[in-house]
Copies of this chain bind each other. A is one copy, B any other.
Amino acid sequence: MGCYAAAPGAFKNPSSQVLDIRNRLFLIDCGEGTQVALRRNKIKFSRIKNIFISHLHGDHFFGLMGVITTFSLLKRTAPLTIYGPKGIKEVVLLQLKLSQGFTSYPLYFKELESKTATVIYEDDEVMVTTIPLKHRIYANGFCFQEKQGERKLDINAALNHNIDKAYFNKIKQGGNITLDSGEVILNEDLTEDPPPPKSYAYCSDTAYKPAIAEQIQGATMLYHEATFLDSHEHLCKPTGHSTAKQAAQIAKDAQVGQLILGHYSTRYGHLNLFKEEAQTIFKNTYLADDGAVFEV
C-alpha cells in the first residue's frame, strides 16, 4: 500500500503491505496514512489479525496508532497482535493512556529484541521468522512461510479402488489404505505431491547484508529495499540502506523466485532506473508501487 522512503507525499505513501496467505491477512509495516490506504485498497479491517513492524522509524510505524484507534472506533472485537521492536508497546500504551482511551478488542504485543532469526508466529498453515537486518536502529525483516499443504487426491484412482469418501482425508494426509480384501493401496498410487509451499521475505530497511541471502535461500518472493541507485552507493553506509544492485545481489545469491524492489528515495525521477539496474544482476525483478498487487 506504500513503498516510498521517508516523508510521505500526496501520491507517495510510506511503507505498508498486506500479505494474503490462504485468506489470512498480515499487515507488514504501517507508515502514516496506512488506514486510509487500507480503505482505498478495499482491505477489510476486520481480516487483519496480526501486524508486523520492522523498526521504529516513522515511515514504518507512524500509522500504527491510527489503525489501532480506528479499529476501536469500528467496535472491533477480534484480538489484534502487534509484533515489533521493544518499546513499541510503551509508545502505544502511553498514547492510549493520554487519550484516556482503550481498545474495544484484546490488544497483544510481542516485542522483539533478539538479533538472531526467531520464529515469532505460527499457526497450522503459516510460520513467520524474523530476518535480522542491518540498519541504523534495531530492525527485522520477516519471512512468511506456508507449511506443506495436504497431498493432492487423485479422485479417479480412489474411485477405481472403490475407496469410501470417509478415507479421503486420511489419504490427503499421506496414509495408505487397506481394502476389505486385505490389499494395501499405497498413498503414492492415490495422490500427487501438493504444490510446494511458498515463502515471502520482507527486508526493509537494511544495508547490504549477505547473511540475509543465506537465511532466505529459495524464497518464492523477496521484497528488498532499494533506497538508492548504485550512483549513490556512498549514501548506503551512513543511512543503513541498499542500492537496487545490492538488492539484486541478495536475490541472486538466495536464488529466490522473484524480486520486488521498493522503499525508493524520492530523489529519483524514474523508478524504471531501479529495475534496469537490478536486472543486470537478477532478471526476474519487479517494482513495488502504491496499490500494486503481486501474486507470489
Docked complex: A158-174 residues within 8 A CB-CB of B: none
Any B CB within 8 A of the CB of A39: yes
Which of B8, B91, B94, B101 is within 8 Å of A36, CB to CB? B8
Question: With A and B bound together, what is the CA distance between A40 and B98 in angstroms?
Answer: 30
Q: Is the CB of A58 within 8 A of B69?
A: yes
Question: With A and B bound together, what is the CA distance between A69 and B94 in angstroms?
Answer: 19
- Residues of chain B contacted by A88 (CB below 8 angstroms): 98
Contact with B along A228-252 (1 / 0, CB 8 A): 0000000000000000000000000
Q: How many copies does the complex hold?
A: 2
- Residues of chain B contacted by A99 (CB below 8 angstroms): 56-58, 137
Contact with B along A76-117 (1 / 0, CB 8 A): 000000000101101100110011110000000000000000
Q: Is the CB of B56 within 8 A of A6?
A: no
Q: Is the CB of B73 within 8 A of A6?
A: yes
The answer to whether A98 and B94 touch (CB under 8 A), given A7-B73, A36-B33, is no
Any B CB within 8 A of the CB of A225: no
Any B CB within 8 A of the CB of A26: no
Q: Is the CB of B94 within 8 A of A40?
A: no
Q: Is the CB of A9 within 8 A of B39?
A: yes
The answer to whether A137 and B56 touch (CB under 8 A), given A32-B32, A65-B62, is no
Q: Is the CB of B7 within 8 A of A56?
A: no
Question: With A and B bound together, what is the CA distance between A241 and B233 in angstroms?
Answer: 53
Question: With A and B bound together, what is the CA distance between A88 and B95 in angstroms?
Answer: 9
Which 9 A-B residue pairs are closest in the complex by CB-CB distance? A7-B70, A87-B98, A56-B98, A58-B69, A32-B66, A100-B137, A10-B40, A62-B66, A56-B99
Q: List 23 A-B contacts (CB under 8 A).
A: A6-B70, A6-B73, A7-B73, A8-B36, A8-B66, A10-B40, A32-B32, A32-B33, A32-B35, A32-B66, A33-B33, A33-B36, A56-B95, A56-B99, A58-B99, A62-B62, A62-B69, A85-B98, A87-B94, A88-B98, A90-B94, A91-B95, A94-B94
